Amino acid sequence: MNMHKEACLAEERVVNVNPVMQPKLREFAQTLIDGFENPEQLSGSCKFEFEDEGNTHTLFVQFNSSGLFLSEEVEGGYEAQVNMPLSVAERIVEDVEAVDYRDPDIIGHMDMTGNLNIVNHIAKALVKPSAMTQHTFQDATENYREAYAADGILYLDRPSEMEILEAIEKKQPFVIRNAPVDVPHSEWSLTKLKEKYGDVLLRVKSATQQETVAEFVDQLLSNDQQDAAEIIEGHTKVYTEGCSLPWQMIEDFLPQYFTTHDYTPPQIWLGSVPVNVPASSLHRDPLDGFLYQIMGRKKVILYSPDQAASLYPMKAYNNYQPCWVKPEVPNYEHFPMFKQAKRLEAILHPGEILVQPAGWFHAVYCLDSPTFSVSYFLNFPVGVHNQAAN
Ligand SMILES: O=C(O)CCC(=O)C(=O)O
Ligand SMILES: [Fe+2]
């Protein structure tokens, strides 16, 4: 029987396609099979090459409306290619519940060519949720429904930490105004960012590409806004897409709420994205999140966790859960329930902080260019914290 057909028919059989397949590669293939979904029935092909002390292992991946097909032999042409050391594939498999494809230790060892949308589509499957994250989302989706009935976003003026925690416990998103900060947001500009942090390494984009703050700012300054058609999430956006906020910058961009021990490593969202393209596409995070707006305005559309069934969340996810439906161009043929989804909207102005309790879905659009925000998540469950404090 044709090897491709076998791969499609039974999971056990694909990993036995070739008994000499490197064991870690088998796990990689199995992770892909477990997580792969293709609701819009896209087609594509990609050759993966894994270097292992002079040997090269190949995994050829094809998908179309009839399924996902894996083989160790390239059969026909392919539209994209990804090369990485086998040790990186091993890391992905071992750390599948937490791996972050923005991590320099991962992306910095990958070389990608060809149609990167195909690479993205495959990479979406190469993650798995931890039991804890699944539990958080299930709890958020099934409980607190009364709280989700609210039809507006609350504003809090210079709240105390305790008031913030109490507001999070109500499970509704809210916006903080006039938060105490060391450096007022109005003092920041692209020029000042470049002057103060120009030499700082901002992000790693692939095995061959990385950029400093100065290089990124120069690109922003010289760039007229990109054409929407040339934007590929994770690859070509002039947007930092939530890579880690470089440690050198941490002190200047965090409101004086909580301490660095109380939150996850901050992320940076700097760049310029046309308003009709999501800066960040629809997803939800498993921790209570703070998004501090520093330059430009953003539009955030929000859906309460009980709307999950209308938003088509992906089966495979780890640190955050993306959705298949695109609110800005919904495909009702494939995602009919999205018609019923009830949304809230917030326009976030410089100086404001949006706080979202865990499990709220959100998509973010830039209303101005450039925009600059910093985000972080509380690393303790808020209800428990309050009980302890009472
Ligand atoms: O600002 C963005 O583009 C995304 C921010 C986000 O998703 C978050 O803070 O959770
Ligand atoms: Fe988020």
Residues 88 and 159 in one domain: no
322-376, pLDDT tens digit by residue?
A: 999 999 999 999 999 999 999 999 999 999 999 999 999 999 999 999 999 999 9
Task: Give the number of other Cβ atoms within 10 Å of residue 132's Cβ.
Answer: 10
The residues with which 267 forms a beta bridge, in sequence order, are: 244, 375
Rounded CA separation 349/175 (Å) = 10
Q: Is the CB of 269 under 6 A from ligand 1?
A: yes
Each residue's pLDDT tens digit, 218-257: 999 987 778 888 899 888 899 999 999 999 999 999 999 9
Q: How much distance in Å is there from the Cα of 285 to the middle of ligand 2?
A: 5
175 and 31 part of one domain: no
Total domain count for the chain? Answer: 2
Do 102 and 243 sit in the same domain of this protein?
no
- Which residue's CA is the closest to the ligand 1 atom numbered 7? 280
Q: Please tell me whether residues 87 and 113 are part of one structural domain.
A: yes
pTM: 0.93
Residues 6 or more apart whose CB falls under 8 angstroms from that of 320 comprise 283, 284, 285, 286
Q: Which of 310, 277, 315, 229 is nearest to 38 (CA)?
A: 315
Query: Among 64, 93, 123, where does a domain finish?
Result: 123
- Assess contact for 82 and 126: CB atoms under 8 A: no
| 29 plus 174 within the same structural domain | no
Nearest to 233 by CA among 281, 201, 301, 296: 281
Shared domain check, 180 and 119:
no
CA of 210 to the centre of ligand 1 (A): 22
**102 plus 242 within the same structural domain:** no
- Verify that 187 and 276 share a domain, yes or no: yes
Cα-to-centroid distance, 291 and ligand 1 (Å) = 7
Indicate the pairing of strand 44-52 with strand 80-85: parallel
- CATH number for position 327: 2.60.120.650
Question: In the listed set 75, 105, 123, which residue is the last one of a domain according to the structure?
Answer: 123
Residue-range definition of the domain harbouring residue 16 = 3-123
Distance CA 155, CA 352 (A): 10
Q: Cα(108) to centroid of ligand 2, in Å?
A: 23
d(CA 5, CA 359): 38
- The CATH number covering residue 72 comes to 3.30.1050.10
**Segment 113-170, tens digit of pLDDT:** 999 999 999 999 999 999 999 999 999 999 999 999 988 999 999 999 999 999 999 9
**Rounded-to-integer distance, Cα 176 and Cα 292, Å:** 9
144 in the same domain as 283: yes
> Do 87 and 150 belong together in one domain?
no
CA 271 – CA 190 distance, rounded (Å): 10
Residue 277 and residue 382 share a domain: yes
Local structure of 156: helix, strand or coil: strand
Q: Are residues 178 and 99 in the same domain?
A: no
User: Could you give the C-alpha distances from 230 to 19, 185, 237, 274, in angstroms and in order?
Assistant: 41, 31, 8, 11
Write out pLDDT tens, residues 86-99: 999 999 999 999 99
Query: Could you say which of 79, 106, 123 is where a domain stops?
Result: 123
Whose Cα sits closest to atom 4 in ligand 1?
280
Q: Which one of 102, 291, 319, 353 would you pick to mutate in the ligand 1 pocket, going by the greatest count of ligand atoms within 8 A of its CB?
A: 291
Residue closest via CA to ligand 1's atom 10 equals: 289
Closest C-alpha to 61, from 53, 50, 52: 50
